[in-house]
A and B are shown apart, each in its own frame.
Chain A
Amino acid sequence: MILLAALAAGLLTGLVWARWHKQPYRAPELNHLWLVFVAFLPQFTAFYLPVSGQSISGFLLPLSQALLLAFAWFNRRLPGMMILLIGTALNFTVIAANRGFMPISPQTAGHLVSQTVLENIQPGDRFGTKDILLLPEDTRFEWLADRFLPPAWSAYQVAFSLGDVLIAFGIFRLLAYQKNISLQGNKK
């Protein structure tokens, strides 16, 4: 949800920026679009179709992320894509190193669900869509896991990783940047 919000914010910024300078909005010129659709299939199978177990899902998520990583690599020359690529690589690393899921600690998960719900989830079990509940001492690359939370006063609570932060910045930059308009507002 926060990543889609970053995408919407970047698109809106780009549209307003282009309109302000009386230029048409230019979408980023992406290559190998088909790769994203192909890469999304394993995740769709793993998380939205009740046909696969935890072991298969734990294989499909890294596979999907590896393909998406390749897509980001092919488009790395676009502004913002390198930030997104690094964020993707960080998420891929921690997911691949922890049974194919994004680890989340019981302490962080306790901010997202009630204590009653949390007591029914054992360490090593799936938590949500892509996460796995793991104790910090059992987590590899714990600093890359879902460990950040919004301020306590925020009504919407979500756990996110360092990779997610970079992906949000990257997607915002990618859609907000207009290559035909300089910072001074003149057409190059």
Chain B
Amino acid sequence: MFLKPVLKPGDEYLWRIVPANKTSKGIPMKNKLNLAILSLSKINRQHVQLFFVVLTLAMLVTGVGAPEDGGGSTH
């Protein structure tokens, strides 16, 4: 009579038979989460940096330029 092994959530059985550095399935969930957080934080930092650069340049051109539109009136 055969006894079939039953895998339950949380079992680390798969990680033992599949090398972690061979396939994506081999990366533990914790590391995946860390990678996701790392990439997200990197994107956010770049976006924040770009936002401040654009804000600074907008203030610069607003400050140094003096085009006059007569209060926005057109005719």
Question: How many whole Å from A121's CB to the nearest CB in chain B?
Answer: 11
Interface contact tally, CB-CB below 8 A: 126
Within 8 A of B (CB), among A8-45: 11, 24-25, 27-28, 30, 33, 36-37, 39-40, 43
Interface SS of A by simple majority: helix
Which of B49, B59, B67 sits near A146, CB closer than 8 Å?
Answer: B67
| B9 on the A face (CB < 8 A) | no
| B75 on the A face (CB < 8 A) | yes
Query: B36-75 CB contact bits vs A (8 Å, 1 = yes)?
Result: 0000000000100110111011111111111111110111
26 contacts between A and B (CB under 8 A): A3-B65, A4-B58, A7-B54, A27-B53, A30-B56, A64-B63, A65-B64, A84-B60, A87-B64, A88-B64, A91-B65, A104-B68, A113-B70, A114-B73, A157-B70, A158-B68, A158-B70, A159-B67, A159-B70, A160-B65, A160-B67, A160-B68, A164-B65, A167-B61, A171-B57, A175-B57
